[in-house]
């Protein structure tokens, strides 16, 4: 976890935040949101919303009342309690890339379908990382696993190879329920996990202004079992949302708020996060531009709106539009990541591995992003200013024109600074071969996988989980 | 210029700032600073400092009195007044890489000595850029020009190929004087430039706690002619400064403050900037680690200390330790640049072109950094939140499940977003060849140079400048 000491960036003025808020309330009242689930609409109607066909209308008062039921901060529990996480407040936690169907092979830069083996490899990289807090979910799409077992095999890999916090499956009622049941096996029973949530799941809106049944059904399972859900918009400006950033944010807020209200009606107090994976679209080409400054601005404001609503936020990541691990993938990923952290985002999904916006995962990019996360974390940690570190005595003893290399103070503190994982600190004259950082990341990831040791999982649990999964149909 | 609307990051608490300030004053009083110029020491003595041998001691009261004479903001004038710059306040201006002896050739990644041709090429790239504000100075070291003419030829290239603001030469009295004389030719006479400063020059301290004669002599020329000077420390932790960040900052502040005090004693009211190019050293290898989070922290604090003293600040840049234009060069450069801007730094030197910390310039990296500058500028510009951009009517008319692509609002605003120079926004399936961003930057820079049109310089001035330079000995 990163604990933020700096003030979060408030990208907009309070007045502009208020304008977006009011416009969103207007959309919720006048256009409403389509909920493609009769069960969901029943709950919404009972909760006080007006329902017409598949459309649900919310009064401002209803929105604000329900919103106040959601906690501003909550704990997510891991198999190893040292890895428990606080979601909200001054904390930022990170999860790797999510949902990519493809993997980029380093040799030859060729893209291929992701497999379950890839899923396990990324899980180990995440398990090894000092900077990644959450695993599981669709870390990468295991295309070679039959659909009905995918969520179960992903869950199994996540709990077998790591003891970090987990994401759940949002693919309908059955898979969500089975994920909760598996969690109950691993974490000591249903009561235990209801009291100590262990799964955080990603519920996407369907922009503009809709929720599909699959997401709503999963949301209901998690909310009833008191597992946190991230309600997130993935709007694309000029196509699935207005082209202006302000307009897109109005729509995103309306969608997210309606999801949060719904979660509270399912089970008051359900932990939620206010999220976005939205992007501008480059209207010359029709491609996403998720590494653009405009997308960064939207992520900043999403975190600010979440603070306004006193709900934890989700956004950002190490995002890039580059299809290769090149200079661009570095500058875009760092810009998005750094600003997401500085803007006080509480949950950063997509924080390692992605290329080509959300389409492709790369082992080498994962390692480079892990490096970036370590750099950002070190930046956010600050440094000590006290008599010892102010070094007045060493300064007076070394004096003008001297050298500190042999001073005791240097020996005492030379390990205070972070060492890089793969970044080069060399000079041209001193190198025999020009090796770039992705190549070093390739070596690094192979070493990690070769020597990876999974944290022990109780054999009885392991067997029970195996049995449960083999009985799935 | 970037005009900052966001609050600058205050990296340290006010209390920690005060501690660094007090410790610096202690160093100035107890250790003093060595000034290797008898003329400088005379001025300092007359100004109220205590001089013993080559060492000059400053009382806290003297420091604060002299400091208050320096302006908190000033204007730097360009040949084209549209390019005039405000140095200080909420403004950030950028200058390219400075002082590199080498150029990295893109073909084969080979490093070679920089030439005057390279100097001209970089000048054109800077002239072309929408994001670079200042040219001139040692943009790159023209090793093939004889030393006594180097400053003159660099000045000539800068004023011939651009009409932007200029940096001067800090290599001793003669070159500084000649640079002022050349400026007087170009900008309409000595009185004119004294009233409307046109040269900003980089005066480096000699860490720890010294100034050499060459820098002091140049400083005196510029101060007497009312041209702004950046007083900057280039301390390396654990070698030429304490290994701790706080200790290094104490030393840097002491050095910079003494230089500012001296400039005020030479000519009260001399415009100055409070600057740093300092870095941590990786003590495993002895190499600089200028792209490290610790170096970023120091840049942040330098800007904060400058605000504390109400003096414009200088720091940062698109800095990296990578020797290649790879992913690392992207993430490090963006981290340093973004934080330098967000920290409210007023003058960013080294904002384009550098590889291998300060050693090597690259045309392709220059273009990539220009792209980054454009991105950061767009991020800092903010976006409009008003009835038109909030898009409530388009949202109500498109409604749930609709598409905004054909809406008039989309046509009206689709050009609001920035278009990239060289960044890719493509998808894997749509590309025939995997081309990385540095390769596109290579094409881009060649196009710029081929089609570059220099802004007209009055023929009479051109001839007079030629004559002046041919008479130099």
Taking only the tens place, the pLDDT of each residue in A85-118 is: 999 999 999 999 999 999 999 988 899 999 999 9
Cis, bond preceding B208 (omega within 30 deg of 0): yes
Residues of chain A with Cβ-Cβ distance to B293 below 8 Å are 375-376, 378-379, 418
Tell which A residues from 407 to 466 touch B, by Cβ distance under 8 Å: 407, 409-410, 413-414, 416-420, 422-428, 431, 434, 436-438
State the average pLDDT for chain B. 97
Pairing of strands A229-233, A272-276: parallel
Query: Does position B54 have pLDDT exceeding 90, yes or no?
Result: yes
- Show the tokens assigned to B177: 């004087």
Average pLDDT on A205-231 reads: 98
- List, for residues A18-32, the tens digit of each pLDDT value: 999 999 999 999 999
Tell which A residues from 35 to 64 touch B, by Cβ distance under 8 Å: 55
Q: What share of chain A is helix, strand, coil (3-state, %, to 5)?
A: 45, 15, 40
Contact check, Cβ <8 Å, B329/A328 = no
How high is the pLDDT of residue B17? 98
How high is the pLDDT of residue B217? 98
Pairing of strands A73-76, A85-88: antiparallel
Contact check, Cβ <8 Å, A287/B34 = no
- Is the pTM higher than 0.95? The answer reads yes
How high is the pLDDT of residue B285? 86
Contact check, Cβ <8 Å, A414/B283 = yes
Average pLDDT on B35-48 reads: 98
Confidence of residue B69 (pLDDT cuts 50, 70, 90): very high
Q: Which of A320, A324, A331 to mutate to test the interface with B (most CBs of B within 10 A)?
A: A331
Average pLDDT on B248-271 reads: 98
- How far does A460 lie from chain B, in Å, by closest CA? 45
Could you give the percent of chain B with pLDDT greater than 90? 98
In terms of CA atoms, which chain A residue is nearest residue B379? A293
Q: What is the ipTM of this complex?
A: 0.98
How high is the pLDDT of residue B441? 98
- In sequence order, what are the residues at sequence separation of 6 or more whose Cβ sits closer than 8 angstroms to the Cβ of residue A429? none
Contact check, Cβ <8 Å, B292/A396 = no
Residues of chain B with Cβ-Cβ distance to A329 below 8 Å are 327, 330
Average pLDDT on A27-45 reads: 98
- In sequence order, what are the residues at sequence separation of 6 or more whose Cβ sits closer than 8 angstroms to the Cβ of residue B124? B161, B162, B448, B449, B452, B454
Q: B230, B194, B261: which is closest to B43 by C-alpha? A: B261
- In sequence order, what are the residues at sequence separation of 6 or more whose Cβ sits closer than 8 angstroms to the Cβ of residue A104? A110, A111, A323, A355, A356, A360, A361, A362, A365
How high is the pLDDT of residue A94? 98
- How far does A312 lie from chain B, in Å, by closest CA? 22
- In sequence order, what are the residues at sequence separation of 6 or more whose Cβ sits closer than 8 angstroms to the Cβ of residue B120? B157, B161
Contact check, Cβ <8 Å, A410/B243 = yes
Answer yes or no: are the C-beta atoms of B328 and B291 closer than 8 Å. yes
Tell which B residues from 2 to 21 touch A, by Cβ distance under 8 Å: 6-7, 9-12, 16, 19-20
Q: Point out the residue among A6, A19, A31 whose CB comes nearest to the CB of B396.
A: A31
- How far does B151 lie from chain A, in Å, by closest CA? 27
Residues of chain B with Cβ-Cβ distance to A438 below 8 Å are 326-327
Answer yes or no: are the C-beta atoms of B265 and B44 closer than 8 Å. yes
Could you give the percent of chain A with pLDDT greater than 90? 98
d(C-alpha B92, C-alpha B377), whole Å = 10
Task: Judge whether B172 is closer than 8 Å to chain A, CB to CB.
Answer: no
Tell which A residues from 208 to 247 touch B, by Cβ distance under 8 Å: 208-210, 237-247
- How far does B198 lie from chain A, in Å, by closest CA? 33
Answer yes or no: are the C-beta atoms of A53 and B401 closer than 8 Å. no
Answer yes or no: are the C-beta atoms of B364 and B355 closer than 8 Å. no
How high is the pLDDT of residue B127? 98
Query: Does position A285 have pLDDT exceeding 90, yes or no?
Result: no
In terms of CA atoms, which chain A residue is nearest residue B112? A428
In terms of CA atoms, which chain B residue is nearest residue A396? B31
Contact check, Cβ <8 Å, B414/A111 = no
Contact check, Cβ <8 Å, B359/A427 = yes
> What crossing angle do the helices spanning A147-161 and A459-470 adopt, rounded to 10°?
170
- B182-218 core/surface letters (b: 16 or more CB in 10 A; e: else): bbbbbbeeeeebeeebbbbbbbbbbbbbbbeebbbbb
How high is the pLDDT of residue B81? 97
H helix runs in A211-267, sequence order? 213-224, 245-266
Tell which B residues from 123 to 162 touch A, by Cβ distance under 8 Å: none
Say how many CB pairs under 8 Å bridge A and B: 413
Q: B376, B368, B334: which is closest to B437 by C-alpha? A: B368
Phi-psi region of A37 (alpha: psi -120 to 50; beta: other; left: phi over 0): beta
- List, for residues A336-358, the tens digit of each pLDDT value: 999 999 999 999 999 999 999 99
Average pLDDT on A49-71 reads: 98
Average pLDDT on A443-453 reads: 98
Question: How many contiguous H segments (helices) and E segments (strands) does chain A have?
Answer: 17, 21
Contact check, Cβ <8 Å, A379/B297 = yes
Confidence of residue B236 (pLDDT cuts 50, 70, 90): very high
Query: Does position A33 have pLDDT exceeding 90, yes or no?
Result: yes
Q: Give the DSSP letter of residue A274.
A: E
Confidence of residue B284 (pLDDT cuts 50, 70, 90): confident
Could you give the percent of chain B with pLDDT greater than 70? 100
How high is the pLDDT of residue B283? 84
Average pLDDT on B212-230 reads: 98
- How far does B182 lie from chain A, in Å, by closest CA? 35
Answer yes or no: are the C-beta atoms of A89 and A332 closer than 8 Å. no
Q: Where are the domains of chain B?
A: 2-6+70-381, 14-66
Average pLDDT on A265-270 reads: 98
Phi-psi region of A137 (alpha: psi -120 to 50; beta: other; left: phi over 0): left
Residues of chain A with Cβ-Cβ distance to B52 below 8 Å are none
d(C-alpha B194, C-alpha B196), whole Å = 6
Query: Does position A283 have pLDDT exceeding 90, yes or no?
Result: no
How high is the pLDDT of residue A284? 85
Q: Which of A404, A412, A413, A422 to mutate to test the interface with B (most CBs of B within 10 A)?
A: A404
d(C-alpha B138, C-alpha B351), whole Å = 14
Q: What is the fold, at CATH topology level, of the domain defined by B2-6+70-381?
A: TIM Barrel (3.20.20)
d(C-alpha B265, C-alpha B273), whole Å = 16
Query: Does position A473 have pLDDT exceeding 90, yes or no?
Result: no
* Phi, psi for residue A375 in degrees, rounded to 5: -65, -45
Tell which A residues from 273 to 292 touch B, by Cβ distance under 8 Å: 280, 282-285, 287-289, 291-292
Provide the CB-side half-sphere exposure for B279 (13 A, CA): 21
Give, rounded to a whole angstrom, the gap between the first and last alpha carbons of chain A: 38
Q: Point out the residue among B55, B294, B431 whose CB comes nearest to the CB of A323.
A: B431
In terms of CA atoms, which chain A residue is nearest residue B29? A396
Residues of chain A with Cβ-Cβ distance to B400 below 8 Å are 31-34, 55, 208-210
How high is the pLDDT of residue A268? 98
- List, for residues B119-173, the tens digit of each pLDDT value: 999 999 999 999 999 999 999 999 999 999 999 999 999 999 999 999 999 999 9
d(C-alpha B371, C-alpha B379), whole Å = 12
d(C-alpha A241, C-alpha A249), whole Å = 9
Q: Which of B26, B327, B355, B416 to mutate to test the interface with A (most CBs of A within 10 A)?
A: B327
- List, for residues B83-113, the tens digit of each pLDDT value: 999 999 999 999 999 999 999 999 888 999 9
Q: A302, A386, A379: which is closest to A334 by C-alpha? A: A379
Average pLDDT on B166-195 reads: 97
Query: Does position A199 have pLDDT exceeding 90, yes or no?
Result: yes
- How far does A168 lie from chain B, in Å, by closest CA? 27
- A101-132 core/surface letters (b: 16 or more CB in 10 A; e: else): bbbbebeeeebeebbbebbbbbbbbbbbbebb
How high is the pLDDT of residue B157? 98
- How far does A238 lie from chain B, in Å, by closest CA? 5
From residue A293, give the alpha-carbon distance in Å to each of A245, B340, B418: 11, 16, 8
- How far does B225 lie from chain A, in Å, by closest CA? 30
- In sequence order, what are the residues at sequence separation of 6 or more whose Cβ sits closer than 8 angstroms to the Cβ of residue A140? A97, A100, A103, A114, A118, A119, A122, A353, A361
């Amino acid at each position: 976890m990163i604990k933020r000491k700096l003030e979060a960036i408030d990208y907009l003025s309070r007045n502009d935040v208020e304008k977006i808020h009011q416009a969103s309330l207007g959309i919720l009242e006048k256009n409403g949101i389509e909920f493609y689930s009769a069960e969901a609409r029943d709950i919404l109607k009972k909760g006080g919303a007006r329902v017409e066909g598949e459309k649900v209308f919310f009064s401002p008062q209803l929105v604000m009342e329900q919103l106040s039921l959601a906690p501003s901060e909550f704990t997510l529990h891991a198999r190893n309690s040292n890895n428990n996480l606080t979601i909200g407040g001054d904390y930022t936690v990170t999860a790797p890339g999510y949902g990519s169907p493809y993997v980029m092979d380093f040799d030859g830069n060729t893209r291929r379908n992701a497999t379950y083996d890839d899923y396990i490899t990324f899980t180990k990289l995440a398990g090894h990382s000092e900077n990644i807090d959450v695993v599981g979910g669709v870390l990468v799409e295991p295309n070679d696993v039959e659909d009905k077992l995918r969520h179960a095999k992903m869950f199994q890999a996540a709990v077998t190879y790591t003891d970090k916090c987990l994401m759940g499956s949002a693919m309908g009622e059955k898979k969500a329920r089975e994920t909760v049941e598996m969690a109950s096996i691993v974490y000591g029973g249903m009561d235990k996990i209801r009291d100590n949530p262990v799964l955080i799941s990603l519920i996407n809106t369907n922009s503009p202004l809709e929720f599909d049944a699959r997401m709503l059904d999963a949301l209901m399972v998690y909310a009833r079992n008191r597992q946190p859900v991230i309600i997130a918009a993935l709007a694309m400006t000029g196509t699935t949302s207005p082209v202006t950033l302000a307009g897109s944010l109005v729509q995103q807020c309306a969608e997210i708020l309606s999801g949060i209200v719904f979660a509270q009606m399912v089970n008051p107090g359900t932990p939620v996060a206010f999220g976005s994976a939205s992007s501008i679209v480059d209207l010359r080409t029709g491609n996403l531009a998720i590494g653009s400054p405009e997308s960064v601005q939207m992520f900043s404001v999403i975190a600010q709106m979440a603070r306004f609503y006193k709900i934890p936020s989700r956004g950002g990541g190490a995002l890039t539009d580059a299809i290769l691990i090149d200079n661009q993938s570095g500058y875009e990923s760092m810009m998005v990541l750094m600003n997401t952290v500085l803007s006080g985002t509480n949950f950063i999904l997509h924080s390692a591995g992605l290329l080509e916006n959300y389409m492709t995962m790369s082992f080498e990019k994962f390692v480079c992003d892990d490096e970036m996360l370590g750099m950002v974390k070190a930046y956010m940690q600050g440094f000590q200013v006290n008599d010892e570190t102010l070094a007045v005595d060493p300064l007076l003893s070394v004096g003008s024109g001297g050298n500190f290399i042999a001073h005791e103070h240097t020996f005492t503190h030379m390990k205070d600074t972070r060492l890089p994982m793969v970044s080069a600190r060399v000079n041209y004259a001193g190198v025999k071969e020009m090796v770039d950082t992705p190549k070093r990341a390739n070596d690094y990831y192979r070493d990690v996988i070769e020597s990876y040791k999974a944290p022990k999982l109780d054999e009885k649990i392991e067997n029970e989980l195996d049995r449960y999964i083999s009985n799935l149909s």
